[in-house]
Amino acid sequence: MFDGVVELGNGVVMMPRLGLGTFRVRDNEVVYNVLDAALANGYRLIDTASSYKNETEIGSALQELLPKYHLNREDIFITSKLGPAEHGEEKSYHACCQSLDRLKVDWLDLYLIHWPGVQKLKHDDPRNTQLRKQSWTALEQLSRDGKVKAIGVSNYTISLMEELLEYATIKPSVLQVEFHPLLYQQEVQHFCRIHGIHLQAYSSLGCGKLLDHELVVSIAAKHQKLPSQVLLRWALELDTSVIPRSVNINHVAENSRLFDFALSGEEIEALCKLHEGHHFCWDPAGIH
Ligand SMILES: NC(=O)c1ccc[n+]([C@@H]2O[C@H](COP(=O)([O-])OP(=O)(O)OC[C@H]3O[C@@H](n4cnc5c(N)ncnc54)[C@H](OP(=O)(O)O)[C@@H]3O)[C@@H](O)[C@H]2O)c1
C-alpha cells in the first residue's frame, strides 16, 4: 500500500494522487453533483483548465460544498491550465488571474501550460518556442507572487522538456501527459524521474475506450474489481497520479476505490506490453 499524496518541489506542496478530471463537465448542476460526489468519496484534487470553460461553475460549487464537508480552501488542491490561446508573458499572467477570479480563490495549487503550441500557429512555427518561453517566465512570476503554489506543463515531449529545463529558473514540478496501457510513456517517465518531476496521467481510462479491453476485463475479474479500477491502479503502481473524469456519481465513487488492492508484477507488466503508442487525445509530436 502506498501513500495517497505525492510531494512536489522537495516536499513544499503535497498533491493528492487521485483527482477529479473535469474536461467536458460543464453544466452547473452536473458540476455541482459531480463535485459533491467527489468530495464525499475523498477526492481532494480537482483538475480544470481555462479551455474547459467550467472554472466559474467549479468555483461556485466549491463555495457551497466546502462548508458542507467542513473543508477549508487549504484542504483541497486545485489545478488549472493556461490555454493555447493565452501564451505570452503578459497574456499568461493575466490568464491565470482570470482563472483565479472565476474559481473564486486566492491561489492555485498547480498551474500548467496546457499545450506547448500556440493556437492558430503551425506546429513548426518558431514563434511557438518564443511564446511558450514567455509563458514560462510568467508562470515563474505567478509562483513568486504567491498566486500559484506549483507550476508545470502538459503535453510536453522529452525534447520540449529539455528546452524548458535550459531556461527555467524554477523547475517544473509536474508533467501531465496522456498515459494508459496503449500509451505507456516509459521514456518520458524515466526523464521525469531523473529530473525530479512528477508525472501525472490523464485519459487513464482511454477516454472510456479501454474499459472493455479483454486483458483489463480479465484482470479486473480476478481481483473482483472493475476495469476502471484496474486501469487507474496500474497507473498508480507506476508512480503516476490519476485524474479520472466522470459525470456519473456512481462512477466517481468507483474510481476512488483504488487503495485497497494491488496488481501483481506480472499483471502490471502484461498491461505495459499493450503499449502501441496510441493517443486517444491530442498528440504533441511535431511541435517545435
Ligand atoms: N492536459 C491535457 O491536455 C488533458 C487532456 C485530456 C484530459 N485531461 C484531464 O484528464 C481528465 C481525464 O481524462 P479524460 O477526460 O480524457 O478521460 P478518462 O478519464 O480516461 O475517461 C472518461 C470516460 O470514462 C468514463 N468513465 C469514467 N469512470 C468510469 C467508470 N467507473 N465506469 C465506466 N465508465 C467510466 C466516463 O463516462 P461517464 O461520465 O459516463 O462515467 C468518460 O466517458 C480530464 O477530464 C481532464 O481533467 C487533460
pLDDT at 188: 98
Residues 250-266 as b or e (16 or more Cβ within 10 Å = b) = ebbbbbbbbeeeebeee
Q: Which atom of ligand 1 is nearest to the CA of 208?
A: 24
Backbone angles phi, psi at 84, to 5 degrees: -60, -20
Residue by residue, pLDDT tens for the chain (288 residues) are 456 999 997 778 999 999 999 999 999 999 999 999 999 999 999 999 999 999 999 999 999 999 999 999 999 999 999 999 999 999 999 999 999 999 999 999 999 999 999 999 999 999 999 999 999 999 999 999 999 999 999 999 999 999 999 999 999 999 999 999 999 999 999 999 999 999 999 999 999 999 999 999 999 999 999 999 999 999 999 999 999 999 999 999 999 999 999 999 999 999 999 999 999 999 999 898
Residue 280 within a domain = no
CA 231/CA 207 separation, integer angstroms: 11
The set of protein residues with a Cβ atom below 6 angstroms from ligand 1 is 21-23, 47, 114, 154-155, 176, 202-208, 211, 226, 228, 243-248, 251, 254-255, 281
pLDDT at 2: 57
Q: Structurally, how many domains does the chain consist of?
A: 1
What pTM, to 2 d.p., does this model score? 0.98
Residue 284 within a domain = no
Centre of ligand 1 from the C-alpha of residue 110, in Å? 19
pLDDT at 1: 42
Residue 279 within a domain = no
Q: What residue owns the CA closest to ligand 1's atom 10?
A: 202
Range of the domain at 31: 5-272
Centre of ligand 1 from the C-alpha of residue 167, in Å? 33
Q: What residue owns the CA closest to ligand 1's atom 22?
A: 207
DSSP 263: -
CA 43/CA 84 separation, integer angstroms: 28
Q: Which atom of ligand 1 is nearest to the CA of 231?
A: 20
Residue 135 within a domain = yes
Q: Which atom of ligand 1 is nearest to the CA of 47?
A: 47
Q: What residue owns the CA closest to ligand 1's atom 4?
A: 202
CATH number of the structural domain spanning residue 18? 3.20.20.100
* Most ligand 1 atoms within 8 A of CB, residue of 205, 250, 280, 287 to mutate: 205
Residue 194 within a domain = yes
* 70: alpha, beta or left? (left if phi > 0; alpha if psi -120 to 50): left
| Residues designated catalytic | 52
Backbone angles phi, psi at 164, to 5 degrees: -60, -45
Q: Which residues contact 273 (CB under 8 A, 6 or more apart)?
A: none
Residue 23 within a domain = yes
pLDDT at 11: 79
Residue 138 within a domain = yes
